[in-house]
Amino acid sequence: MSQTPLNGSSTPASELPKAYRPAEHETRIIGRWDAAKAFHADPSRVVRREAKPFCIFIPPPNVTAALHLGHALNNTLQDVLARAHRMMGDETLWLPGTDHAGIATQAVVEKRLLQEEGKRRHDYDRDEFVAKVQAFKDEYEATITAQLKEMGCSCDWDRQRFTMDEQCAAAVREAFFQLFKDGLIYRGKRLVNWDPVLQTAVADDECYDEEIEGHFYYLRYPLVHAGSRDPAVKPSDGSAKGSVDPMPVTWDELAARGYPGAQEHDSEQEAWITVATTRPETYLGDTAVAINPHDPRAKPLRGLFVELPLVGRVIPVIEDAYVVLPERYARTEEERNDPKSAMATGFLKVTPAHDPNDYEIGQRHGLPMVNMMSPDGKVSDGHGMDSIGDAKVLVGKTMAEARKMVVKEFEARGLFEGAKPHRHSVKHSDRSKAVIEPYLSDQWFVKVTDERLAGSANAALVESQRTTKQQSSKAASAQGAGDGSLAFHPPRYAKTYEQWHTNIRDWCISRQLWWGHRIPVWTREYTLSGENPANKLPIGSAHAIDGDWSLSGAIHLVERTCEDKYREVVCPPALIPSPSPHDLPFPVVKFNESGKHAFIARNQSDLVRELEQEGFTQDPDVLDTWFSSALWPLSTLGWPNPAAFNAESNSNLLKVFNPSSVLCTAREIITLWVSRMVMFNRYFTGEGQGRGNVPFRDVFIHAMIQDGEGRKMSKSLGNGVDPRDIISSHGADAMRFTLCQMTTQTQDVRMPVARDETTGKNTSPKFDLGRNFCNKLWNAARFTLGILARNPSPVSNAPVQAKDLSLVDRWMLSRLTSSVAKIDACVTNYEYSDYAETVYRLLWWDFCDWYLEAIKPTIDASPAQRAVLAHALETIVRVLHPIAPFITEAIWEQLKDVETAPVHGVHLGPSRTGGLLCTAGWPRLDAALIDPDAESAFERLRTLISAVREVRSQHQVPPKRRITLHANDAVRSLTTRAPGLVESLAGVESIVFDAAQTASSRNSGAARAAFVFEGAELALSNLADAVDASAERDRVTKRIADLEKSERTIDGRLSNPGYMAKAPAKLVEESRAQLAQIRDELATLRKRMGELG
């Protein structure tokens, strides 16, 4: 390694190129970090109490695509914290990894296969298809890892994980097992968002709403008295036996019941009601018609039914307040203004198996659920709809076809009342763009509504961020380890988090995909007839049974699905491979009838083989991606058995780094991921009580990057900026600096996007800020190193003392000290923009603009000043390292070997690994170096220099021309504190202390330019052969106008009795002094005007 010419190396400073060229350093430095394993965390140091732990889990990027600018921001912010804490001496683990992103990745691969090979998923068997996705994942995982390294991320690469690798998979199986065992996972029929193209349930966040031009269709349902044909429906008189056909209801009869408007119809005719619907085809699944109880027609209809045309199903009319009242029956302004009331008839067809609101109504009224659709989105009588009657013609049609046919059939029977255009939003699938069908199906759920999960998540919030306090003293007394230890930054996001858990619903975790963690449940179905113990089970209920599998630690249930059919369910605990034969995992052991071991499973594949031999098959579904992501802070550290996955020295990993320090993420992730990590982490570390550790103590929510118009960056808009393009055009450090500088506490940041004419790639002018800054640093370092190289200092251990230093040196040390203190606070408080801004000002404004310029005349003669110079640059380089790791490391390669005397009070610890800055100590500067006297004197000198420069500029004095400053005694005592400073920085040849005379004995006004400094008139001469009197007049006139305006403001304030009476005395005093100074200056300037004529 060390043979590489560039490695570690020492190009003499004089030969450093004029501009910083990132590409010449970044690869080499990544190589040095890698070779030194500089980012590998050692938990044993924490165990031995040699260091405090600092840990961040990367939000694992999806393997779906390369990283975008949002990732660049997210990871930069994490890296800044990791690097700062590492330098501060904390044992720092930033754990990297990627997420398998189930549906997203599968969809991308399916699309790719279709494009490239013209094949679909089902053209392969499951294993073949998964292998294709795996290959895709390998490709993108490699890309992502390379990108993170290019950005400079200081991750512990030896501990990189993937949510589907063996270690994470074991955690998933174990978590599922435990939750299932504890009754927090169940299977149930639920209405899900069904994507009929991908044929899977999708989560709400995998859908988007889109407005479509649809219709409200008006369908008539004939009113009947129920017969007894339908066993689910009791005859209305309650007496009739046998089969009785439903009897039509006439308008006459309705009129008698007091139904408003019934008289307007032919009295003998059969009566109907009219429902309004946007989806007529779902009438096949109707199980009731609902009316608002406040509708005057509700009472007359009580006890009546309707008969569904074609289907012949007789369903009740029920009353439910959810139903929108039609305009004419609206009772309040609010009801009238409901846009739906104009379209409403007051009758709502209720289809619990195909509409979420109807599902709720169905739950409230105990309605049966009739599913009329097959998983591919076609009308079916094989999925729960048995009584179908003449509607058989619709079977096999798509929902769209069925809609047209239903309308025709109703028309043919005179039951179609019409349709009105209606714009409404319809859910679509993100991945397939298909219209989502609410669909009733068997799904697995996590009962997150349980107090041990959602309740525990809210209890984790720090007291100051909670809006609901502990409800009961009982809860308060059962304080868990992580209670009150989770804090959001900025705090407002705690509310999002809290409200999410307050309104949370059970979490559907099954996905009908092939890519993901397969649900670790095996089932076997069989038929049993005749007398046996199992047929005492109520139909539909599941019971734990004792048997081989339960004896071996698995969950074993038997469920009676109908009269003589049973389903056995087995969920085994995770079998975790162990590298050590002495540390075997808990095995699944089965016994045969004679009590001998018939089978021992020590790994997952043995177990699966055994189950399959016994006729069990694994559930085909996979788990929602977030299930494995929710375990990330546990699975990455080896939970449930860290020893099995880590070398002996690392078995403390889980203990040391969970809870971690902070999670950095975007706000949309709060509900998707943060919540679930907290619930799972607390549950699994809390021994089933849900009150264990939080996975992280702080959650930092950063902004989302938008383009210049405030739109999200996206592929389809073509407004995205690729971090790789920025790294190649500006360098990783420039990108990182800019991203940090943009990170304020707001929730969005805008990044104007521009096309680079030469490359044709998107970029943003914002990154020039970072590039310019890096270049500035590079040149400051080049200059400094040049000075130090040409003045080798004799090695001396005698520290330079501040009291022996010049004013500018003391000023510089003071500025460094307060800046480092500010930066320390920024790191603690996640104030990235302030951090970047503080280093920017320190380097550019203080160090470059003033300090370097100020020391030019003296530096070669002063070893003490060179010590300050070296320490100043090194302090800046060190505090900048977390933001800009490459350029600082590159500069430090040269700087670290430069010998100067120590500076008393400046502590720069050595590198701990590989001679690298990334593990060198964080600068500590003693507070005693803060020197208010030096700062204020220097500030006055800066003001004086600026005043001179201003006059020079206005008089168009050539920069090279040396001029004369006519000053007074006050200035004399100031300038003698920093000899040569004003001369050097203001281009002054000599300072003459004759300002007092000038005013009285002036006869050559035109040759001089006067200006005011601290209220007194000073002058410049020798500006040119003659001073331009009119330029001088313009300047003075403008200044007078400005001052007069200020005078009015401050005078007004001081003549306000309220101000004088109530404002703090200090402010009043300041105002007085200010006014006096303004008036002094005004007097001087007016006199000057007089002289100018």
Nearer to RNA among residue 205 and residue 899 (C-beta): 205
Whose CA is closest to 676, among 64, 99, 108? 99
Return the residues of window 958-977 that contact RNA according to CB under 7 A.
958-960
Nearer to RNA, 48 or 1062 (CB): 1062
Strand locations in 303-415 (E): 305-307, 314-319, 347-350
- Cβ closer to RNA: 160 or 875? 875
For residues 820-846, b (16+ Cβ closer than 10 Å) or e, as one string?
A: bebbbebbeebbbbbbbbbbbebbbeb
SS3 annotation, 914-966 = CCCHHHCCCCEECHHHCCHHHHHHHHHHHHHHHHHHHHHHHCCCCCCCCEEEE
Question: Which CB sits closer to RNA, 470 or 775?
Answer: 775
Residue from 615, 752, 792, 979 binding RNA (CB under 7 A): 752
- Tell which positions 269-298 bind RNA, by CB under 7 A: none
Q: What is the CA radius of gyration of the chain?
A: 39
419 Cα distance to chain centroid: 45
Q: Which residue has the tokens 């989105």?
A: 377
Only one of the segments 158-166, 183-191, 396-404, 775-783 lies at the binding site for RNA (rule: CB under 7 A); that segment is 775-783
Q: How far is the CB of 747 from RNA (least distance, A)?
A: 4
String of contacts with RNA for each residue 194-213, x by CB under 7 A: ----------xx--------
Nearest to 942 by CA among 1068, 1026, 851: 851
Assess 667 for contact with RNA (CB under 7 A).
yes
CB closer to RNA, 96 vs 987: 987
If we measure between CA atoms, which residue out of 457, 556, 450 comes closest to residue 501? 457
Residues 309-368 that bind RNA (CB under 7 A): none
When binding is defined by CB under 7 A, the residue of 181, 422, 567, 949 that contacts RNA is 949
Among 184, 323, 769, 883, binds RNA (CB under 7 A): 769
**Would you count residue 940 as binding RNA (CB under 7 A)?**
no
Tell me whether residue 178 or residue 429 sits nearer to RNA (CB atom).
429
The verdict on 427 binding RNA (CB under 7 A) reads no
387 binds RNA (CB under 7 A): no
Check if the beta carbon of residue 289 is closer than 8 Å to that of residue 375. no
164 vs 780, which CB is nearer to RNA? 780
Which of 94, 230, 69, 237 minimizes the C-alpha distance to 153? 94
Smallest separation (angstroms) from RNA to the CB of 1031: 11
The verdict on 1038 binding RNA (CB under 7 A) reads: yes
Q: Of residues 728, 779, 791, 1021, which one binds RNA by CB under 7 A?
A: 779
For residues 349 and 276, what is the distance between their CA atoms, to the nearest angstrom?
8
> Distance between CA 602 and CA 588 in Å, rounded?
7
DSSP H helices, 249-309, are: 251-256, 298-301
Token pair for 839: 């280093």
In the bound state with RNA, the residue whose beta carbon lies nearer, of 530 and 710, is 710
Closest approach of RNA to the CB of residue 886, in Å:
14
Least distance (Å) between residue 492 CB and RNA: 4
Among 15, 18, 477, 540, binds RNA (CB under 7 A): 18
Contact (CB, 8 A) for 542 and 569: yes
Tokens 């705090």 correspond to: 491
d(CA 543, CA 555) in angstroms, rounded, equals 10
Judged by CB under 7 A, does residue 742 bind RNA?
Answer: yes
Residue 224 token pair = 């009947």
Q: Binding to RNA by residue 1050, rule CB under 7 A?
A: yes
- From 162, 176, 169, select the one nearest 134 (Cα to Cα): 162
Tell the smallest beta-carbon distance from residue 963 to RNA (Å): 13
Among 89, 312, 786, 915, contact with RNA (rule: CB under 7 A): 786
Q: How far is the CB of 697 from RNA (least distance, A)?
A: 22
Among 780, 802, 978, 1019, binds RNA (CB under 7 A): 780
Residue 1050 contacts by C-beta under 8 Å, 6 or more apart in sequence?
1071, 1074, 1075, 1078
11 binds RNA (CB under 7 A): no
Rounded to an integer, what distance in angstroms lies between the CA atom of residue 875 and that of residue 775?
18
CB of 982 to RNA, least distance (A): 13
Pick the stretch among 481-489, 754-762, 888-896, 1045-1053 that binds RNA (CB under 7 A): 1045-1053
Residue span 490-519 as binding mask against RNA, x where in contact by CB under 7 A, dash where not: --x--xx--xx--x----------------
Least Cβ distance, residue 435 to RNA (angstroms)? 17
Measured in whole angstroms, the distance separating CA 15 from the mean position of its chain's CA atoms is 44
Min dist CB 278 to RNA, Å, is 17
Count of residues engaged in binding RNA, rule: CB under 7 A: 81
> Helix %, strand %, coil % for the chain, to 5?
45, 20, 35
Is there a contact between 982 and 991 (Cβ–Cβ < 8 Å)? yes
Q: Does 1079 bind RNA (CB under 7 A)?
A: no
CA 403/CA 400 separation, integer angstroms = 5
Q: Which stretch binds RNA (CB under 7 A): 289-297, 788-796, 916-924, 955-963?
A: 955-963
| Binding characters for RNA, 895-934, by CB under 7 A (x = yes) | ----------------------------------------
Q: Does 107 bind RNA (CB under 7 A)?
A: no
Considering only residues 832 through 871, tell me which ones interact with RNA, judged by CB under 7 A. 833, 837, 844, 848-849, 852-853
Task: Name the strand (E) or helix (H) holding 598.
Answer: strand 597-601
With binding defined as CB under 7 A, does residue 671 bind RNA? yes
* Choice from 32, 83, 771, 871 touching RNA (CB under 7 A): 771
Q: Is 1074 in the site for RNA (CB under 7 A)?
A: yes
